[in-house]
Amino acid sequence: MKNSSVYDRLMKILDKSQILTDEPMKNHTSFRIGGLADFIVMPNGAEQISAIVKEFHDVPLFVMGNGSNMLVSDNGIRGIVIKICENMKDISLEGNILTCQSGALLSSIASYALKNSLGGFEFASGIPGTVGGAVVMNAGAYDGEMKDVVISTVYIDENGDVHEITGDAHEFGYRKSIFSGKRWIIIENRLKLFEKPRDEIKAKMQEFAKLRRDKQPLECYSAGSIFKRPEGYYAGKLIEDAGLRGFRIGGACVSQKHCGFIVNDRNASFDDVASLIRHVQNAVEDKFGVKLETEVKICGL
């Protein structure tokens, strides 16, 4: 792949300000880990994304949101990273239905809902990601999941064509949806909320925020919960009971505060974190016979 040729083709679709070249992925992930991406592009809507997908069948495309659930190789990512966040974050309201571009942060949507006295989204107020990414993995916390509020999704398929699905067509499950593992790019989501007194919404958001501060290592670089919850267990409890609280490989460490988190404590490399993930998985399986699956998206290998 000749980067100059790719750049010239991108310039026919995007403005120069929307294209980053040889960009460190560590600047775009909450783990603060990751080598150079050949290109990071920041489209402003469906038209530009569709044009990119149709133009670059010969170049690897990788889609990301806010980078809060990613572990990227120190070798970086070849091809084009489509970052859907800063330039696609509009939120609008009609009745009790929010229409959100897929790059809107969950925290921004929660604040918007609070301002308009709409309940049902408090659970997501502290999740550090975009609504598009949250729909892909059916993100959830405390008393809610995305499946409880999403009524429709507009997306672009691998051929660059636009589609919309509603309701059960999302096929939501535990940390998955119809979008999981597919090369589809979410453009817009509609969320159905309900009227609720503003003080009650605010109180619930403050309650959840306190729980997060008390129980999660929010002061550290991480990608949130590293592992999915195994059926009948809690990943963090299994890791703690395996004696791994504070266990370290290089700059990566099992959080002292919450064993379900691995944190970048001392300028960790990708290999540090990946090795620690494998060590934790092996130790838990050896001791309890439970296989831990990663929730974090590992990419760029």
pLDDT, tens digit, for every residue of 54-72?
Answer: 999 999 999 999 999 999 9
**91-200: in CATH 3.40.50.720:** no
pLDDT at 1 over 60: no
Indicate the pLDDT class of residue 292, thresholds 50, 70 and 90. very high
Whether 3-83 and 217-299 share one fold: the answer is: no
Give the E-state strand segments of the chain in sequence order: 19-24, 36-41, 61-64, 70-72, 77-83, 91-94, 97-101, 118-119, 140-141, 144-145, 150-156, 162-166, 185-192, 194-195, 221-225, 248-249, 252-254, 261-264, 297-299
**Residue 222, Cβ density class (10 Å: 0-12 exposed, 13-18 middle, ≥19 buried):** buried
Q: What is the pLDDT of residue 3?
A: 79
pLDDT at 301 over 70: no
CATH of domain 3-83: 3.30.43.10
The residues annotated as belonging to the active site are 175, 225, 295
Q: Give the chain's mean pLDDT.
A: 96
- Give the tens place of pLDDT for each residue, 173-229: 999 999 999 999 999 999 999 999 999 999 999 999 999 999 999 999 999 999 999
CATH architecture of 217-299: Alpha-Beta Complex (3.90)
Residue 146's φ and ψ, nearest 5 degrees, are: -60, -35
Three-state secondary-structure class, residue 10: helix
pLDDT-above-70 percentage for the chain:
99
CA distance 146 to 100: 13
Give pTM, 2 decimals.
0.94
- Give the tens place of pLDDT for each residue, 110-164: 999 999 999 999 999 999 999 999 999 999 999 899 999 999 999 999 999 999 9
- Give the tens place of pLDDT for each residue, 12-46: 999 999 999 999 999 999 999 999 999 999 999 99
Task: Provide CB contacts within 8 A for 221, sequence distance 6+.
Answer: 30, 31, 32, 33, 263, 264
Q: What mean pLDDT do residues 219-242 have?
A: 96
Neighbour count for residue 117 (Cβ, 10 Å): 16
Q: Where are the domains positioned within the chain?
A: 3-83, 91-200, 217-299
Give the E-state strand segments of 42-129 in sequence order: 61-64, 70-72, 77-83, 91-94, 97-101, 118-119
